[in-house]
Amino acid sequence: MGKIRMVALAALCAVGFSVPASAQQFVNILTGGTSGVYYPLGVALSKIYGDKIPNVRTSVQATKASVENLVLLQQGRGEIAFALGDSVKSAWAGDAEAGFKAKLDKLRGIAAIYPNYIQLVATKESGIKTLADLKGKSLSVGAPKSGTELNSRAILTAAGLTYKDLGKVEYLPFAESVDLMKNRQLDATLQSAGLGVASIRDLSASMEINVVSIPKETVEKVGAPFIATTIPANTYKGQSEDVPTAAVVNFLVSHSGVSDDLAYQMTKDLFESLPELASAHSAGREIKLENALKGMPIPLHPGAERYYKEKGLIK
């Protein structure tokens, strides 16, 4: 019996020592709508993390994007998320008008990634060529309280417009907006995303469109974190010229409950897998290590900070 007890004890010890070594980690990646840019990049990250981080189980969650993602992170219902810079800034400040009832104090930064271009697109037959032309027309401004919708409010306000000036306001994700435009039930959509977003590519392949200019002076009225930029000619079918617009940087964000080691590994694998991200979406080509800390509106996660110190970005 004594020998049996010793064997049983040895087996229990073996199990006890093996569990921490093989304990599975979970990484839920919060993205956006499946027709946007966050989702394909999130799917690519999921594969990267699943392949490179030992004992990790990854999942990709489609959401309403920035605002919802940040709220879910605060609740510990995700490990890493995509979000627009102005939304991150508002979340840290607890801006109720932006959809944050209190300061989201658990948020921690991982990296600045690529700029979101504010892409205002109208059907050619609507006659919309300028921001002023939106008066009396129907516009989809993005899902309610999403990062895109916050961008829409900011741009319209700077142009001297409110939702009341529009003929109709739709609060729809990218793909649903495009479906309405194809059916002649919507004049225009504002989409805040990386260049070459699938929904607008789909629209431009189906019908003639106008990519509407957002002038530099309008962008300057909005102010930081928006910057004036250009949508290059031929980004979309039928767009033969460069179009002035605004951009705001996207961030990958985590929270204080994620371990330093996991945050370090997620940051390291992000920047060591840029070709895979570029293959997933053209926006991935704009992710650069040298820009990782630019404009970070919240404290860095200590795990990410360790990686940047190793790479010499933080002394």
Q: What contacts 1, CB < 8 A, 6 or more positions away? A: none
Q: What is the pLDDT of residues 105-141, one digit of tens each?
A: 999 999 999 998 999 999 999 999 999 999 999 999 9
What are 120's strand-pairing partners?
190, 212
pTM attached to this predicted model: 0.77
To the nearest 10°, report the CA torsion of 254, 256, 259, 263.
Answer: 30
Residue 145, pLDDT above cutoff 60: yes
DSSP state, residue 166: B
Q: What region, left, alpha or beta, does residue 141 occupy, with left being phi > 0 and alpha being psi -120 to 50 degrees?
A: alpha
In this structure, are residues 138 and 186 in contact, taking their beta carbons and an 8 Å threshold?
yes
Tell me the DSSP string of 2-47. HHHHHHHHHHHHHHHHHHHHHPPEEEEEE---TTSSHHHHHHHHHH
3-state SS assignment for residue 132 = helix
Nearest Cα neighbor of 36 from 109, 99, 116, 98 is 116
Q: How confident is the model at residue 36 (pLDDT cuts 50, 70, 90)?
A: confident
E-state strands within 145-226: 168-170, 188-193, 209-212
